[in-house]
Structures are given as C-alpha cells and as structure tokens.
Amino acid sequence: MRSLKKILLATAMAAAASPCFGGSTPTVYLMKIADHRALDETVRGVRDALAGRDIKIRVESAQGNPSTALQIAQKIAAKKPAVAVAVGTVAAQSLANYANRIEDPVPIVYSSVTDPKSAGLIPAANVTGVSNFVPLRPQLELFRKLQPNLETIGIAYNPGEANSVAIVNALKPICEEMGIGLVLRAATRTAEMPQAAAELARRVDAIFVSNDNTALAALAAIVGVADSQGIPVYVSDRDAVALGALAALGPNQREVGRQTGRMVAKILDGETADSIAPEWVTSMTLSINLPVAERLSIAVSEELLSEAEELIQ
C-alpha cells in the first residue's frame, strides 16, 4: 500500500509539472482579420511550421469587422491558449489587449502586420511577430517600368487600418519625388471598396492595393472596375496577382506564415514572446500576370520577364 501511494504521488507531481496537465493538448489560436488569399496563405504557412507537433490549431476570422475582432479576441483569451497568432494589424491590436493582463496573460505572435510600431505592437510586453512590410519605392519603380507614362496612381484604403494609414503617409513623399500624382479614396467596409475604386478608376492611370485587408477582400471587384476603365491594378501581395492584378513585388505570404510559425514553435518549447525579437520579411519577389498585361496592351520587357519568379500564363 505504501509503495502504491508513492507511485500515485510521483505520477501526480509529474502531471502537475507537465504543460499537458490533465491530459489537455496545447492549443494555438489564429485570428485572421479578413478572408482573402494572402492571409489564407499566411495561415497555411503557420500550419506548415507547426506540422507534426502534438497541438490543436483553431482558426477564426473577423470577416473584416473590427468589432468582431474584439469579440473573437475576448473569446480566444478566455480559452487560455498556449499561443495566440494574429494575422493582420487589427487582429493583432485586438489580441494584444490580453498579452499583459495580470491573470493568464496570452503570448501573442502577430503576422502580416505592415507597421507594428505605429500599431502599438513594438514595444509591447509578451508580443512579437513578423511584419510583411516591403519598401515602396521599388514597387513604384516597377509600375513605371510596366507603364512608362504612369502619371497618377490611386489608393483605395481603410483609414481604420493603421497599416494602411502608414503606407499612405509613406507613399506621399515618394510619389512627390517621382512626379506621380497620388489620389486617395477611403472606404471603411469591403462593400464600399468597389465604389471607391470606381471613383479612382476615372481619374488615375493605375490602382495600387498595398496590404489593406479591406481592399484585398474586395480585390475581385476592384479589378473588375479597373478593367472596365482599361487600367491595371497593382498589389503588394504576390498571392493576389492570380486574382487579376497585373503585378506585385512583394513577399511570399506562405513563407511569412512559416516564419511566424517558427516563432510560435519557440514559445511552445518554453521561450517567452519577450525573448524573441520581432522580424521582417527577408526578401521580395516579382510576380506578373501576362494575360492581364496582354488584355491591357501593356508590354512586359525581357528584363522583367527574366526577373520574375512567377509568370502567370
């Protein structure tokens, strides 16, 4: 009997010391701010990096609604996950509220956040992640190579997304230096984006969608409006080129997800979010949609054809 008591005591102490105490499997929650191809690829990349681990992965989408993002963040925090991954700026800001609470703080790893500093994620306790920001000037230079006579460019953006505001503010001086007129139209909901794009398409030579999740969720409609006016749509997300944009010079979003997933793995292995430095994408590559170029009578030079990592035929 005494031996049995010792065995039971030892088993109880080992279980208490285990992160899977009570037989529970660690859960990683991912929240996307919206549903579109780039963020879907990011989530796939996170799953890639965590494949083979004994964990549960749950994915939620805020459907582009900031209020819904706050509700989902509250629900996720109540579940006390091992790690919460926020895909998109508004999702990250919503979840970050629970990173440093007194009881049961939740480690937050953000992904596909353009400007984590202006979003209040750097510095922030118990928060780290990966930014998908890529320099803007090389992108504008690409547009000029495809459209040598480019004089005006339009941006449809959501002023409620800190990432979009940061991009617009950064674009203004660059466009001025390059002699490109910048025309802006704000839209706070995906349903408003087609009208904003229609107003732009009548006034500009091209439309640029750069990491604005509200606009990316309406990309098909924006492309349709631009096509009707005979102008191209450029994007920063390579994954969006297949949806009808002309070109992108940007990161591979699935690789951004893998980069994020490797951070999550470190936390699952015992590191703290505070001990993991925020990261940025390490490279950007060129993707060109050749049928769109042909339809718009835009000549793609041999130089660009040779530089492109992806040519959509």
**Token couple for 36:** 């579109």
Instruction: Give pLDDT, residue 211.
Output: 86
pLDDT of res. 77: 97
Q: Which residues fall within 8 angstroms of residue 14, CB to CB, at 6 or more apart?
A: none
DSSP 229-255: TT--EEES-GGGGGGT-SEEEE--HHH
Q: Coil, strand, or helix at residue 200?
A: helix
CB 286 within 8 A of CB 308: yes
- Identify the pLDDT of residue 283: 83
Q: What's residue 232's pLDDT? A: 98
- Predicted pLDDT at 6: 44
Predicted pLDDT at 1: 45
Q: Where do the CATH 3.40.50.2300 domains begin and end in the chain?
A: 2-132+253-280, 137-250+285-312
Handedness of CA 116, 165, 42, 190 (dihedral sign): positive
Give, rounded to a whole angstrom, the gap between the first and last alpha carbons of the chain: 75
| CATH architecture under which domain 137-250+285-312 falls | 3-Layer(aba) Sandwich (3.40)
pTM (2 d.p.): 0.83
Q: How many CB atoms lie within 10 A of CB 53?
A: 16
pLDDT at 237: 87
Tell me the pLDDT of the chain (313 aa) as tens digits.
Answer: 444 444 444 443 333 333 433 458 999 999 999 999 889 999 999 999 999 999 999 999 999 999 999 999 999 999 999 999 999 999 999 999 999 999 999 999 999 999 999 999 999 999 999 999 989 999 999 999 999 999 999 999 999 998 899 999 999 999 999 999 999 999 999 999 999 999 999 999 999 999 899 999 999 999 999 999 999 999 998 888 999 999 999 999 999 999 999 999 999 999 999 999 999 998 889 999 999 999 999 999 999 999 999 999 9
Query: How far apart (Å, rounded) are the C-alpha atoms in residues 49 and 136?
Result: 29
CATH number, domain 2-132+253-280: 3.40.50.2300
